[in-house]
Amino acid sequence: MVVVAMVWIRGGELQIPSLRCGMENKKAEEWKERRGMKTIRIVAADDSAVMRGLLTRMFATEQVGAMAPMQLCAAVPDGASCLHAVRTLHPDVVLLDLHMPGLGGLEAIVRLRQEWPCLPIIMCSAATADGAAATLEALAKGASDYVTKPMGTMDAVAAMEALWGQLAPRILALVQREAKVPVRRDGAPVRLRGVQVEAVGIGVSTGGPAALERLLTGLPEDFPVPVLVVQHMPKLFTSALVARLDRCCAMRVRQAAAGVALFPGTIWIAPGESHMEVRMGAHGVPFLVLEQGEGLHRCTPAVDVLFRSMAEVFGSGSLGLVLTGMGADGVAGARAIVEAGGSVLAQDEASSVVWGMPGRVVAAGLAQAVLPLDRMGRELVAMSSVGRCRRVAAEMEARYECC
């Protein structure tokens, strides 16, 4: 028996269908027309029989009117069985639990990456402090993305819907079945060194923790402007991300708090479930504001909210970086920065886990440069040095080269 599950894209927005039954005849006809599409094959590893059963039931629920069928090829209880299943079944995606007997999730990631460097791996993580820290370690070791397991208090239907809502868009994005975004090619990327940068804003989603670690660890302790980061993550996970980055970065890394004044040498990360904005204080010192408003693009925090506020406060001194991630968050904010005279850099497709957010910024003609992640840090240091002491600028660039 072939088991399938479905999602579709309508009007440019990803639609997540309900797992409940009751299909219309028109959608059933659409299903018949699309059954011939290539199936996304999935292997799942989790030591919990309940979780394996939940995944099996979820993927066995037919979703009519879908863009891409998904088949759960195997649900196994440990990392060793997962490796064997991947070798024999050649899946498109692996779902992996962190804590399993024998070969655990972290060790399995290392082994999987040795044999299949580009195979998408999605971690299924517990929504706990320990689970958040372990998830970040898994992402650093090569996992592509993560989802949080349903709460134990949910009934089966609610649990399946919660998990499906997280998994479906991630699977589609990671197997690159979203339509390619057209890239403007009407001019070569410009190396911007003309305006003094007053603040750096970074927006990132899928693949973000590893990208942030690579980028931010190269910045010197006396980096001359504040750095503001929006990473699409729940609050528990952003707290773990702050702790991890603070251990490995020369700059101070802090979770944003309402009313905090912005000064150079600190990286501020927006907490999950709160939008982060910048306002100008009465004495000319910018400070942070946190708002628990509705999500933009289903995201709280949202990159657009941060970038728009930066454009209002810092104007042409705003520098926005849009890194790896799925969706369109950051496009409107990048436009606000550009219209205020600021600059926007986008990560290139080759170094992105998913080229959704940066790709859309590029397609809109808002990126002054499209750069690989490794080069972006060097450019960030160079641009932030404009208008400042030449000796200090040279020392900063030299220190980055050493990193």
Quick: pLDDT tens for 165-192. 899 989 989 986 444 444 443 434 445 5
- The CA distance from 53 to 56, in Å, is 5
Count of other CB atoms within 10 angstroms of residue 116 = 16
- Please write the tens of the pLDDT for every residue from 81-107: 999 999 999 999 999 999 999 999 999
Catalytic residue among 318, 329, 352, 385: 329
Q: Which residue has the higher pLDDT, 100 or 400?
A: 100
- The CA distance from 232 to 242, in Å, is 13
352 is catalytic: no
| Mean pLDDT (whole number) for 358-375 | 95
Q: What is the pLDDT of residue 153?
A: 63
Count of other CB atoms within 10 angstroms of residue 344 = 28
Residue 71 near residue 43, CB atoms below 8 Å = no
329 is catalytic: yes
Residue 139 near residue 209, CB atoms below 8 Å = yes
Q: What is the pLDDT of residue 389?
A: 52
Catalytic residue among 78, 232, 348, 352: 232
pTM of the model: 0.81
- The CA distance from 239 to 272, in Å, is 8
Report H helices in 145-256: 156-174, 208-216, 235-248
Q: What is the pLDDT of residue 400?
A: 47
Q: Which residue has the higher pLDDT, 36 or 361?
A: 361
**401 — pLDDT class (breaks 50, 70, 90):** low
Q: Which residue has the tokens 């990286």?
A: 267
**In the chain, what is the straight-line distance between the N-terminal and C-terminal CA atoms, in Å?**
53
Q: What is the pLDDT of residue 388?
A: 63
- The CA distance from 371 to 112, in Å, is 28
Q: Hey, which bits of 77-163 come out as E strands?
A: 93-97, 121-125, 145-148
Output the average pLDDT for the chain: 83
Among residues of the chain, what percentage have pLDDT more than 90? Answer: 64
Residue 325 near residue 358, CB atoms below 8 Å = yes
Q: Residue 207 pLDDT more than 50?
A: yes
Among residues of the chain, what percentage have pLDDT more than 70? Answer: 79
Catalytic residue among 125, 144, 205, 384: 205
Q: What is the pLDDT of residue 337?
A: 97
**Residue 301, preceding peptide bond in cis (omega within 30° of 0):** yes
145 is catalytic: no
Q: What is the pLDDT of residue 282?
A: 83
User: Is residue 276 classed as helix, strand or coil in its secondary structure?
Assistant: strand
Q: Residue 387 pLDDT more than 90?
A: no
Q: Which residue has the higher pLDDT, 126 or 46?
A: 46
CA triplet 301, 151, 64: central angle to 5 degrees?
A: 80
| C-alpha distance from residue 49 to each of 42, 283, 365 (Å) | 17, 60, 49
The one-character DSSP state at 77 is S
**Residue 17, preceding peptide bond in cis (omega within 30° of 0):** no
Q: What is the pLDDT of residue 187?
A: 39
- The CA distance from 231 to 398, in Å, is 29
Q: Which residue has the higher pLDDT, 347 or 189?
A: 347
